[in-house]
Amino acid sequence: MNRSEIESRLKDLLAVALGNKPQLQGVTSDSHLVNDLGLNSVGVLYLVIAIEEYFDIRFDDVGFGDFTTVGDVVDYVESKLQ
């Protein structure tokens, strides 16, 4: 799966995990997880588990607080899939 596919799936997962909220319109890799998407700790919990289930990976060596933007998460997923 290439980077653009991962980003596309991540946007889908954001909608699944957080619901189709207005702030999810126009999400880009530069979108800030907290400032732009309004992710709180519960949202993080849902999103991480959704990503783990979809990509069959584990966020076991990193804290979600280490990610700032959607692109950071894409980078991490991409590295895990390699």
Partner 1 sequence: MKWKLIDPVYGDMIRVKSGSIWHYGIYVSDEQVVQFGLAPRQRARVSDAQVVVCQSTMDEFCDGSFVEVAVPEKRDKKRTPPAQTVQNALDRLGEGGYNIVHNNCEHFAYQCYLGQKYCSQTDDIRKQFAFLSEVKVYYAAVPSTPFALDLPTALRNEEIASCQNADVKRDKYFVWKLLLRAIGSNYGKDATFVKQPTGKWTCNLCSFSLSHGDGVVAVSVSKADTGVDVERVALPSNVKVMERVFSQKEVTDYHQLQTDEQKALYFTQKWTQKESTFKMLNQSSFLASKPSEYTQHVVSKAIDVNGTSYVVSVACNPLQRVSFCKIDL
- φ/ψ bin of 36: left (φ > 0), alpha (ψ from -120 to 50), beta (otherwise): alpha
Tell me if 41 contacts partner 1 by CB under 8 A.
yes
Count of residues in contact with partner 1, rule CB under 8 A: 26
For partner 1, which residue of 3, 42, 79, 81 counts as binding (CB under 8 A)? Answer: 42
DSSP code for 69: B
Tell me if 54 contacts partner 1 by CB under 8 A.
yes
Tell me if 25 contacts partner 1 by CB under 8 A.
no
- What number of other Cβ atoms are within 10 A of residue 6's Cβ? 20
What is the 3-state composition of the chain as percent helix, strand, coil, each rounded to the nearest 5? 60, 0, 40
Tell me if 64 contacts partner 1 by CB under 8 A.
yes
Tell me if 56 contacts partner 1 by CB under 8 A.
yes
Tell me if 65 contacts partner 1 by CB under 8 A.
yes
